[in-house]
Chain A
């Protein structure tokens, strides 16, 4: 089942024949998405390699549309029989006729790898060394560190997308990631600290990133939190460290700017293009072309090249994000935001790398100018109700700000706010932009890799979900 990289993932003639079969019941448009995914991981826990695992998935999803109706079927059987059976199942939504135009594919269906050093070409021994090195550094940081888990994972995802418009595009996406989770034990119980490094690259990741420094940061975070106090309960100004809080924008407005949710009236940002929706200092961008970031892809999962999409410019809502279906019905180009978890899923509008651009303030001044508040150095995940705009996000490293100074560490908790209000309440943005940690964004049961980032900034008020009055 291995494929040579100098030929498409699926034979061009078989792709054409499958698309013809998909159109044979009177469909208006058809698409085939082929995916070959290889991944491997290693878990290091309790100071030893616990298990190495590898996995392989190969399959295709076939989509047929008639008006606003979509038929979709997936199969792991890439023989002519298997593909035709799936094509017929997808075509069943069309109920008549069989006018089939000849399908001419435009493109070579080939792609360049995003990796310089393919992780699969690196020995497992080298990967084990990396895990040991990370573990040792974390444990050496502080005697209070009682447990360390290090996880290495690599994934190569090759995709081929073809449709009856003649599209025949491919991508070869490699992502490599190392995460470390530390437990520190103190008088008050257990605390945790986490760090992750991951990019859309191969094993060259470790030429540029110091895993020992990362391990020490994770360990220090857990140890610091041993002295943490309960977080406040109620509304306070919140300063978010650069790179730590892109997820705030992902939740506060990113999801609400996805055209599928907008079209169904399930977004507070519906009908608001051209309006001032944020403080004038806010410019929000979604950019799938952004270097080696975690959410970077050359083409989306509908074969559309990714691009830099400015969503909010100087506080004014400029555009939503689009996939094939939604852009077609709106009569406008897609924006490269049609993504799916795997060949077994239908694509929908998704973010890639979402970030707020630099402002002008010095980050230290932002802290000094905050009389009392909370300083969030690392955020966990988040979740949003796009219909109301209410969103939460977790703080995994945070401190009190007292009289303009960062003071005691705080225990973990969620913050809650309302997207449109929070965007208006961004008081000041720093000049120190950084991207954050790699993330997985979940929507309607599908997870895709995303990136986010932001400079240090202050929100006038957010509700801190702590217990201290």
Chain B
């Protein structure tokens, strides 16, 4: 119904409805996506759809109201404006509340539009999903079946405009594959998972996905429950991303201001090992998290978070920045369906040197953690308590040994940062956008038998 309307025009038109003394910020988006799943050598399902979204913030005298809808129908849009106005009357006035103002920082002007994904036919997507399943089945005789082999792609447009003169537009797409092979030996079944995502179909590393997924399942066959002890844990890059992502969350202005961060009073202090440098860099086009703007329309920029173990700065959006008297760091994150929060776009770790085996060689007694469970249930970013289910391999005398499962690893976020003893040179950009390497952390409690 609105496929023909240009999103920036629509956003600016809604902004122009602002009453005197009203600030309005409008986000509008249009997306389409396709997912194809294969099973038993055939297409199992094809799912496609189009979606639209609008989110409008209205602020008067520091009172903020927000409303959102899953449609760009004109009648809906005018209702959303009215609802946002209705909602603001009940919010308490906050002098720091307001939409972002242009800050003079130039956008990195990245060319993120690659239409290759738009030129894929449904047959090509289907045969890729079927091929992914077939290759897992033929990679190892112990692979009995594949729970899911999926292809997904999406294309979206996003526009944001506000009464402070911000008006941005972005467009782009990506594609991804994911596969879960089952390996069976005797009475035992193990499931693996691997996936990849890219802006272009030919950038997907299918070989690697198959190898990792199959090894993830077959490598865990025969896993046993380990003995409880304190040891060094090596987190593979995906697990390192989950751990450091939690840390980055605790270093956002929102948590700090509201007394929900264990690092609130520690700016400029040594919070981590000196080899640890952590930053957010959405200006690096190699990351799928790369973007020209943040969620309030300010230029995306590189931000140091921890530099050689020292807490360099907290991340801010325009609101949290005003609260503490600093500028926004361009760290607003949001979709049209929510108000801007604070977060990272493309969290990166400075890698060490050498390959993963070289990292293992530094570990006398430890474990290599291939995956964790229960990040949402056992990690408290306010107190810093960290306890997650873990599986992977033992490291004995500097080399990978037998698999283990049904265990947990535990410490605190604060201690783990200080206990980093080595960082691998196996840097990679993950499908989620972060740039990570394996990290070794000593004196972590492994709980098993």
Contact = CB atoms under 8 A, between A and B. Distances in A.
A355 interface: no
Most B CB contacts (10 A, CB to CB) among A45, A231, A346, A392 go to A392
Interface in B366-382: 373-374, 376-378, 380, 382
A388 B223 CA distance: 10
Contact of B228 (A58, A265, A344, A469): A469
A392 B378 contact: yes
A444 B152 CA distance: 13
B105 interface: no
A346 B47 contact: yes
A57 B51 CA distance: 10
A465 B228 CA distance: 10
A381 B87 CA distance: 32
Most A CB contacts (10 A, CB to CB) among B68, B148, B230 go to B68
A266 B406 contact: no
B49 A265 contact: no
B141 to A, nearest CB: 16
Contact of B47 (A42, A59, A72): A72
Interface stretch (B73-81, B112-120, B292-300): B73-81
B389 A414 contact: yes
B406 A465 contact: no
Contacts of A124: 86-87, 89-90
B45 A72 contact: yes
A77 interface: yes
Contacts of A385: 191, 373
B94 interface: yes
Main secondary structure of the interface of B (DSSP, over half): strand
A265 B148 CA distance: 12
Contacts of B190: 387-388
A146 B259 contact: yes
A198 interface: no
Main secondary structure of the interface of A (DSSP, over half): strand
Nearest to B380: A412
A382 B50 contact: no
| B-side interface size class | 35 or more
B449 interface: yes
Interface in B175-206: 180, 182, 184, 188-191
Nearest to B144: A265
Contacts of B448: 234, 463
A137 to B, nearest CB: 19
Interface stretch (A63-71, A153-161, A275-283, A448-456): A63-71
B309 to A, nearest CB: 20
Contacts of B52: 76
Contact of A51 (B47, B64, B260, B406): B64
B43 to A, nearest CB: 6
Given A76-B52, A192-B383, A414-B387, A53 B68 contact: yes
Given A411-B385, A469-B228, A56 B76 contact: yes
A1 to B, nearest CB: 6
A332 B76 CA distance: 43
A185 B259 CA distance: 9
A268 B189 contact: yes
Contacts of A53: 65-68, 87, 338-339
Interface in A220-257: 225, 231, 233-235
Interface in A90-131: 92-93, 124-125, 127-128
Interface string A269-293: 0000000000000000000000000
B389 A392 contact: yes
A58 B76 CA distance: 10
Given A45-B258, A82-B1, A69 B45 contact: yes
A51 B69 contact: no
Given A72-B48, A382-B377, A465-B389, A416 B145 contact: no
B17 to A, nearest CB: 18
B308 interface: no
B83 A412 contact: no
A1 B391 CA distance: 50
Contacts of A76: 50-52, 70-71
B405 interface: yes
Contacts of A384: 373
A394 B262 contact: no
A394 B66 contact: no
Nearest to B93: A48
A433 interface: no
A17 B202 CA distance: 41
A70 B180 CA distance: 20
Interface string B393-412: 00000000000011111110
B262 A190 contact: yes
Contacts of B408: 392, 413-416, 463-465
Interface string A417-442: 11000000000000000000000000
Interface in A383-406: 383-388, 390-394
Interface in B251-275: 258-260, 262
A38 B445 CA distance: 46
Contacts of B48: 72-74, 89
8 contacts: A68-B44, A74-B47, A233-B446, A265-B182, A266-B191, A383-B377, A444-B148, A463-B406
8 closest pairs, A vs B, by CB? A465-B408, A394-B377, A414-B378, A413-B387, A392-B374, A392-B389, A387-B191, A74-B49
Given A49-B92, A51-B339, A392-B378, 6 more contacts: A52-B88, A56-B68, A189-B384, A463-B225, A463-B407, A466-B445
